Amino acid sequence: MDDGERITRQRMSEQVRSARSEKGYSLTDLARASGLSVSTIHKIENCAMTPTVMTLLRIVKAVGKDIDFFVGEPDDHKDYVVIRYREAICSVFAPEKSLIRGLSAKFPNCRLEVHHSRIRRGGRSGKKVLIHNSEEVSICWKGMMKFIIGKETTVLEPLDSIHIKSGVRHRWENAWNGESEVLFVYSPPLLT
- DSSP H or E stretch at residue 153: strand 152-156
The C-alpha R_g of the chain, in whole angstroms, comes to 18
Provide the β-strand partners of residue 162: 138
Same domain, 66 and 91: no
E strand or H helix that includes residue 20: helix 3-23
Structural domain including 66 reads 3-71
Distances (CA, A) of 111 to 61, 69, 129, 133, 188: 25, 19, 24, 12, 5
- Read off the CATH number of the domain in which 64 is found: 1.10.260.40
Domains held by the chain: number: 2
- Chain-wide mean pLDDT for the chain? 84
**What CA–CA distances, in Å, run from 90 to 5, 29, 77, 150?**
6, 29, 23, 30
Per-residue pLDDT of the chain (192 residues; tens, 9 = 90+): 566 667 777 778 888 988 898 899 999 999 999 999 999 999 998 888 888 778 888 998 899 887 767 765 554 556 777 877 766 666 666 555 677 777 777 777 778 989 899 999 988 888 889 999 999 999 999 999 999 999 999 999 999 999 999 999 999 999 999 999 999 999 998 864
The pLDDT tens digits of the residues spanning 23-76 come to 999 999 999 999 999 999 999 988 888 887 788 889 988 998 877 677 655 545
130 has which bridge partners?
170
- The whole-model pTM stands at 0.61
154 class by beta-carbon count within 10 Å (0-12 exposed, 13-18 middle, 19+ buried): exposed
- Shared domain for 67 and 118, answered yes or no, is no
The CATH number for 126's domain is: 2.60.120.10
Contact by Cβ (8 Å): 43, 36? no
